[in-house]
Amino acid sequence: MTTRSDVLVDAPTLAAALAGDEPPLVLDVRWALGRTDGHEQYLAGHVPGAVYVDLETELAAPPSPAEGRHPLPDVADLEAAARRWGVRDDRAVVVYDGVGGMSAARAWWLLRWAGLPDVRLLDGGLDGWVAAGLGVEAGDVLPEPGDVVLVPGALPTVTADEAAAWDGDLLDARATERYAGEVEPVDPQAGHIPGALSVPTAGNLTADGSFLSDEALRARFGDLTGPVAVYCGSGVTAAHQVAALAAVGIEAALYPGSWSQWSNDPDRPVATGR
């Protein structure tokens, strides 16, 4: 069973590890829906030594109506990207972003799914790093290539058909307004998968962007009774929900296609309302 320390690392602990004999590889995964300036933000200031990762091109295959806005990348492409970042089988990895882990969780999940065991999220992200009084550096970091070998399947996934027939708790990690079908900014239909529960990812975080305490997370997820699966808009922020659940020992499957795949299929039923 996973624990919080398997999933998250705080800024002072990361700083101490970076000063040690076997420093982890740090990946900067700054991205947000509708923005394209993640690399520019990284160049302006990042955790010292951090390597930039492009979510759109390195953590996802090209979008399509059939597969969704962020399909899982081919494992060979992911392995090639991970080697460019400097990932090795024997080196720990820490990932972060500027939005409380909402985008970095995609890298956390993908690397864990592809068999890399020691991957953690920086709790609080870059804001938490700076708030701890730790410095940043500007410019690009070009790492020594890694030699990691990735094998998919270490974390569970579900297909659209499996989500439709899920015998357990299916969590919708999007904002409640999107779940209810009151707004839909990017996908072709508004609403949610019938039977899904609304558990917005943003509720995993405190006001400063760090994860809730274990006690608060357990209270948040305490009513779950069966196997758990999670989806969101395109499989990105749902990974944050999987991480939050893992921090308190609950395994959850990810539906990678998520609502962007489901809502593009006219044969799939759609529910609305809270």
Collect all residues with Cβ–Cβ distance below 8 Å to 126 and sequence separation of at least 6. Answer: 28, 30, 45, 46, 47, 96, 97, 98, 136
Rounded Cα–Cα distance for residues 80 and 60 (Å)? 13
Catalytic residue among 229, 232, 238, 246: 232
Tokens 């394209």 appear where?
36
Amino acid type, 84: R
CB proximity list for 140: less than 8 A, separation 6 or greater: 43, 52
The owner of tokens 């949610």 is 192
Active site residue 232: yes
- Are the beta carbons of 129 and 136 closer than 8 angstroms? yes
- Decide: helix, strand or coil at residue 177: helix
**Contact assessment for residue 110 and residue 72, using Cβ atoms and an 8 Å cutoff:** yes
Q: Which of the residues are catalytic?
A: 232
